[in-house]
Amino acid sequence: MTARRPYNVLFVCTGNSARSIMAECIINREGMGNFKGFSAGSHPREEVHPMAIDLLKSNNYKVEDLAPKDWESFTKPGAPELDFVFTMCDSAANEVCPVFPGQPISAHWGMPDPASVQGTEAERRFAFADTFRMITQRVGIFVNLPLRSLDRLSLQKRMDEIGRGEGADASAEAP
């Protein structure tokens, strides 16, 4: 039996400077080689948000190669074949997404944008930490699903449940 390549997962946000970048890092660690995370934006910013970088560094994630990318780069020849695409912000979910080759399963995992929080530095850092926590929880549930034993419809249902914050016990099922 041949080993399957890792599942390729794309996280999409408008600016690709905070949530989707954090999700890319988290799945690359939590997926333990079974998942390869990517991130992109419909209108990528010039740089990753400094508070996202600080938070990732403080949690021992590699940040050297992180940069916002345009989602169109994942539709071109030579791009990774995507298995899953998750939109993470409402504006990206409401935009017309490009057609990604291979018909990946997609779902909306919307959550507040920590980069838009106004307030003290402590309040802004708390917003980033809270978003990081939510992403970590969702990714943890996702990477522990018995993906190979679920049909496409069941898998789509699970992806949608995770996006709504449901299914926290889904990872307890035997693979």
The whole-angstrom separation of Cα 71 and Cα 74 is 6
pTM for the complete prediction?
Answer: 0.89
CB 88 within 8 A of CB 13: yes
Residue 97 catalytic? yes
Give pLDDT tens digits for 34-64: 999 999 998 999 999 999 999 999 999 999 9
Catalytic residue among 13, 21, 27, 107: 13
User: Which domains, and CATH codes, for the chain?
Assistant: 7-166 (3.40.50.2300)
25 is annotated as an active-site residue = no
The one catalytic residue in 97, 117, 150, 170 is 97
Q: Hey, what amino acid is at 69?
A: K
d(CA 63, CA 61): 6
62-88 confidence digits (pLDDT tens): 999 999 999 999 999 999 999 999 999
Of 89, 92, 135, 143, which one is the catalytic site residue?
A: 89
User: Tell me, what amino acid is at 90?
Assistant: D
